[in-house]
Amino acid sequence: MTKQATIETIMRRRMHGLYLSRRCEDLETLARELLGLHSWFARNVPFSALIRGSDINGWKTRLIKTWLYRGTLHGVAYEDLPELLALSAGEQKDGYFSWLSKAHGAETIRGIADEVIRLMEDGVYSRREFRRIFADRYDSNVIEDVFSSWGGVFVYLARLGKVAFQDMTSRDFDLISAEPNASFHDVLPHLLRRYFAAYGPATLADAAYFFGISKEDAAELPRLPFDGFDRLELDGKAYYYNETADMNDVPELTLLSGFDPIIVSYTSENRFNLPREYRSKVILKSGICLPTIAVNGQVAGVWNIKKNTPLVEFFKPQPKRLENAALERVESIIWRTRFGTGGH
């Protein structure tokens, strides 16, 4: 098999595993199989689900939003949280806690975290109110870091399974009980298998990137058992996946959500569907990954919705029928998001 044929095989299998060439009608099933849906912008969750054929009725409260891999927000099935959170269980694996502790002291951060929980039990849920309450106890630098809009102490509490957003669109935090139920080394083999089942063919480096595994822990991955997985080789690297009997062809036209799993779930050199010349147009310097349009599996443009108006921009001229089809699909997302329906 030629290199190009191997890449095409990888793309076809990935699009199948990530429900881009087939449907997943249930939102919770989709979130479980994809190990969460990226939700830095809440609307990316219904967009991603609709693109994959899911029913999004009541989507705002069907999933729970919290910080997972690489400090990113994901919408996940509640029952999945204890296992997923085990990847960063313990302060030694929580880079955000380490950063806060180095800046302000571990005991200070733990003390603030404990007080936040007590206040939440008394009915305080908004970041603004926490800032007001703590303002007379700590200097402005502590307040800015601990109650940062990027998460602050709430990332630490979320990693402990104590805090999350039960409404995907809310800015107020909720108390939950989803403490990690095992150690990092206990859950890693199973989560790797789940990753390769959905995201494969993928390399061990891809898996380490996806889960935000440290270099030290990533060095242990080759020692784990990979029996039951198929593999293929490309440029001397092994790609693991589950063999699938029935697979559809790569669609001619595919909408991808912002932070779509097929783009952000692999190392940069393994994002085969994102041509190098378009990367800066899709993944901005701020880290934001725009909603895109793929033609025959390759990103060829971007789309958006502004003031309920569909916007489509191809990077190079495309046949008029593809331009019209892309606009129709974005219009359909506007309508289905408004009325909470699903399907293609």
What is the per-residue pLDDT for 92?
63
What is the per-residue pLDDT for 258?
96
Q: Which residues pair with 308 in a beta bridge?
A: none
Query: Beta 37-38 vs 253-256: how paired, if at all?
Result: unpaired
Residue 255 structure tokens:
């909408």
Q: Which residues pair with 136 in a beta bridge?
A: none
Residue 94, burial from CB neighbour count under 10 angstroms (0-12, 13-18, 19+): buried
Q: How confident is the model at residue 318 (pLDDT cuts 50, 70, 90)?
A: very high
Interatomic CA distance for residues 91 and 75, integer angstroms: 23
What is the per-residue pLDDT for 340?
64
* Residue owning tokens 């009980």: 177
Interatomic CA distance for residues 24 and 30, integer angstroms: 6
pLDDT, mean of residues 84-101? 79
Mean pLDDT over each residue of the chain, to the nearest integer = 92
- Answer for the pair 291, 255: CB distance below 8 angstroms, yes or no: yes
Q: Which residues pair with 55 in a beta bridge?
A: 26
pLDDT digits (tens, 9 = 90+) for 5-52: 999 999 999 999 999 999 999 999 999 999 999 998 999 999 999 999
Strand order in the sheet with 309-314: 253-256, 292-295, 298-306, 309-314
Beta carbons within 8 Å of 33's beta carbon, 6+ residues apart: 19, 24, 194, 197, 198
Q: How confident is the model at residue 81 (pLDDT cuts 50, 70, 90)?
A: very high
pLDDT digits (tens, 9 = 90+) for 241-258: 988 878 899 999 999 999
What is the per-residue pLDDT for 115?
97
Amino acid at 119: L
Q: Per 3-state DSSP, what percentage of the chain is helix, strand, and coil (rounded to 5)?
A: 50, 15, 35
What is the per-residue pLDDT for 225?
81
pLDDT, mean of residues 61-78? 93
Assess whether pLDDT exceeds 90 at residue 226.
no
pLDDT, mean of residues 203-224? 91
Q: Under DSSP, is residue 321 helix (H, G, I), strand (E, B) or coil?
A: helix
Instruction: Report the candidate in 178, 144, 184 with the shortest Cα–Cα distance to residue 158.
Output: 178
Count the neighbouring beta carbons within 10 Å of the beta carbon of residue 235. Answer: 7
- Answer for the pair 235, 49: CB distance below 8 angstroms, yes or no: no
What is the per-residue pLDDT for 123?
96
Q: How confident is the model at residue 91 (pLDDT cuts 50, 70, 90)?
A: low
Alpha helix stretches (DSSP H) within the chain: 3-17, 27-33, 44-51, 59-62, 81-85, 95-104, 106-121, 127-134, 140-146, 153-159, 184-199, 204-211, 215-218, 261-264, 279-282, 320-339
Lowest-pLDDT range, 45-49, 210-214, 296-300?
Answer: 210-214
Residue 22, burial from CB neighbour count under 10 angstroms (0-12, 13-18, 19+): middle
The pair phi, psi for residue 271, each rounded to 5°, is -85, 75
Residue 298, burial from CB neighbour count under 10 angstroms (0-12, 13-18, 19+): middle
What is the per-residue pLDDT for 169?
94
Count the neighbouring beta carbons within 10 Å of the beta carbon of residue 53. Answer: 17
* Residue owning tokens 């025959």: 296
pTM (predicted TM-score) = 0.93
What is the per-residue pLDDT for 77?
96
Interatomic CA distance for residues 101 and 165, integer angstroms: 24
pLDDT, mean of residues 156-161? 93
Amino acid at 89: A
What is the per-residue pLDDT for 341?
61
Interatomic CA distance for residues 130 and 146, integer angstroms: 10
